[in-house]
Amino acid sequence: MVQHSKSQHVSLNQDLQFINISSSHSTSVSHGKTIRSHVARRWRRERKEGRSATEPQPRCTILPKMFGAKAGPRPFTESAEEDCEREGNLLVNGASLWPLISRDPSVLDHQKQFESFYLNKINTPVISQNSGLTFLDNGLNPYNFLPINATPRVVSLLQLNLLFTIRTSVHADPTDRYVSYCIDDAAQLYITLSFCASLFASKSNSAQDESAYYFSESISSIRQNLDNPRQKTSDSTVATVACLANIENLNGTLENAIVHMNGLEQLVRLRGGLENLGMQGILRRRVLWADLCCAARAQTPPRFPLYQYFDMSRLSDLYSTGSPASSILIPSQELATMSVSRGETKVLEILQDLHELSTFLNYIGSASEELPPEAAYPDRLYTTEHQLLTSLADRRLLICNPSQASIFTILLHAALLYIYTNLRETPVDGALRRTLVARVRSTLDVTEISALMESFPAELLWILSLVILASKSLDDSYWLRMQLLCDIHEIRTWDKVVARCECLPVFEASCSETCRRLWENKFNSCP
């Protein structure tokens, strides 16, 4: 968190402070909960396996310290090979070096138990191969150069990070590939591990204790960076704070996200603005996306003004056979007429931009691991989302306002939900998605649905489909509204839903397929 001093002549060390939410290891409440939950899970597992309760077990209070051991290589031995086989088959080859693990028997025992618990859950082809760690060279384990102990669990999470690619990520720089700069900075490495642990936990339906641990370690490392004059405003520090803000915005609390955003805004100011950030534009994109995430979560205008990209070519120039006709969005006659009479043509422009981006994703296809750099997809999406958030902030529509929301306000809220379900492939689950869904539902609840069904049936059908797609658990009232709307207009299949909504942004292919399954499971089971 950044606090402004009353005096403008205070030194930089006193002006910039970052609050460690997790406190120290010995007094941290989150660490205590993590340790207790880990001990409880192991006790239940041992009881299920029929182990003796009187068997002496080492204390688990060293869990937060075991990853802090100094890293260092040691010669490869047969005993090391046996340890590697027990730790999940993560051995490289006979010429590689293995990181030094603490010689303390109790620490080593807990390290093996903690890591093997997670390693046994991993089922990825790279991790099961002996050559999985040789992607940088054939002789050395590259993770020996990490700023923390390169344990088998750390290596497995980093491999998961290599396997899990995001086509629409802001890391996809149009001029150069994303460079892994976390090798030299523990704070950025810890936040990367936290993301990977969270991804692993979501895929294996396990607890998020490990992700929370790495998250708190990243905050502790940030404090150390801020005490170092050379690291205080470095690229890695700015990137880490942006990641902290993003994680809190996506799945954490709004209060903590604002704390991190205040710190991020001050760091950018100390660097002299967005133009002075390094990493060939990648760092600027991370900062701007963190700004958009916070604005979407808090329903406020973005903190940074719209960054103009002037060197982007038209998406139609990237199609090999010319721009498809489907990239041109033709709104319904009712919506077009009302937009002109009420001065809401900006909403139609935003919908057109979203439709063009989704059409481009469908044209490229999901089989492509990367989008063409010349498409500048993250920059185009940033521009559209910034304009959308600014339009929403200008309306100053309160959710608790009893007056009816206009169709254009509902469409803007739905368009923001559309971005985080169709256009951003970053896993968006939890707090941000619930917030966006709640806003769309709130605007629908204060609006006369029967009037929307009569005047804007296609728009309402598109909005209801988005809400159902984004909701993990939804009451039957929205399904009933959709069923009533479909009965009125004699819509019996998902293909007819798609055809009816052709005047609105098309769903990305995977999202459309998910909607199809939900539709068929719901209506095919009805009598």
Structure tokens of 409?
């306000």
Residue 84 is predicted with a pLDDT of: 34
Token match 């500048």: residue?
376
Distance, CA of 268 to CA of 124 (rounded, Å): 38
> Of 260, 280, 300, which residue sits at a domain end?
280
pLDDT at 497 over 50: yes
Which of 265, 280, 295 is the last residue in one of the domains?
A: 280
Nearby residues of 313 by Cβ (< 8 Å), 6 or more positions away: 374
- The answer for residues whose C-beta is within 8 angstroms of residue 431's C-beta and 6 or more apart is 249, 250, 251, 252, 253, 254, 297
Lowest mean pLDDT among 102-116, 156-170, 446-460: 102-116
| 326 and 237 share one domain | no
Residues 456 and 319 grouped into a single domain: yes
In this prediction, residue 481 carries a pLDDT of: 87
Alpha-helical (H) ranges within 66-167 are: 78-86, 105-119, 152-163
In this prediction, residue 457 carries a pLDDT of 93
Is 509 in the same domain as 432? Answer: yes
My answer on whether 268 and 347 are in the same domain is no
Q: Give the ranges where 151-306 is alpha helix by DSSP (H).
A: 152-163, 186-204, 209-227, 235-251, 254-270, 282-298
Same domain, 368 and 269: no
Among 331, 349, 235, 243, which residue's Cα sits nearest to residue 290?
243
Q: How far is CA 263 from CA 4, 220, 238, 259, 267, in A?
A: 10, 15, 9, 6, 6
Residues 35 and 182 in one domain: yes
Q: Token digits for 240?
A: 């880490």
What does the pLDDT read at residue 358?
A: 93
Please report the DSSP string for 31-47 in residue order: HHHHHHHHHHHHHHHHH
Residue 304 lies inside a defined structural domain of this protein: no
265 has pLDDT over 60: yes
Instruction: Report the distance separating Cα 144 and Cα 183, nearest Å.
Output: 10
84 versus 50: the higher-pLDDT residue is: 50
Q: Residues 128, 189: one domain?
A: yes
The last residue of one of the domains, among 262, 280, 298, is: 280
d(CA 253, CA 213) in angstroms, rounded, equals 17
Q: Is 4 domain-assigned? A: no
With beta carbons less than 8 A apart as the criterion, state whether 30 and 216 touch.
Answer: yes
Residue 302 maps to a domain: no
β-sheet bridge partners, residue 98? 74
Query: The domain containing residue 70 runs over which residues?
Result: 12-280
Segment 344-364 mean pLDDT: 93
Same domain, yes or no: 451 and 331: yes
Determine, yes or no, domain membership for 292: no
- pLDDT for 11 equals 41
Spell out the alpha helix ranges (H) of 365-475. Answer: 377-395, 407-418, 431-445, 449-455, 457-470
Residue 353: pLDDT above 60?
yes
DSSP 73: E
Same domain, 351 and 248: no
Per-residue pLDDT tens over the stretch 306-329:
999 887 888 877 777 666 668 889
Same domain? For 374 and 447 the reply is yes
- Residues 275, 327, single domain; the answer is no
| Least reliable range by pLDDT among 196-200, 288-292, 505-509 | 196-200
Number of domains in the chain: 2
Please list the residues that pair with 99 across neighbouring strands.
73
Instruction: Tell whether 96 is covered by a domain.
Output: yes
What's the whole-number mean pLDDT along residues 40-52?
62
pLDDT of residue 368: 64
Residues 462-490 pLDDT 10s: 999 999 888 866 667 788 888 889 889 88
Instruction: Identify whether 295 is part of a domain.
Output: no
The SS3 of residue 301 is: coil
Residue range 5-35, pLDDT digits in tens: 434 433 444 455 444 444 444 445 555 556 5
Give pLDDT, residue 124: 38
Residues 234 and 329 in one domain: no
Residue 131 reports pLDDT greater than 80 = no
Do residues 316 and 323 touch, judged by C-beta distance below 8 A? yes
pLDDT, residue 123, reads 42
Q: What number is the average pLDDT over the span 116-128?
A: 43
Q: Which two tokens stand for residue 202?
A: 């979501």
Q: What sign does the CA torsion over 517, 508, 163, 68 have?
A: negative
Q: Which own/partner pairs from 371-374 qualify as long-range (CB within 8 Å, at least 24 positions apart)?
A: 371/167, 371/168, 371/172, 372/318, 373/172, 373/173, 373/174, 373/175, 374/174, 374/313, 374/318
Residue 250 lies in a domain: yes
Residue 212 has pLDDT above 50, yes or no: yes
Residue 300 lies in a domain: no
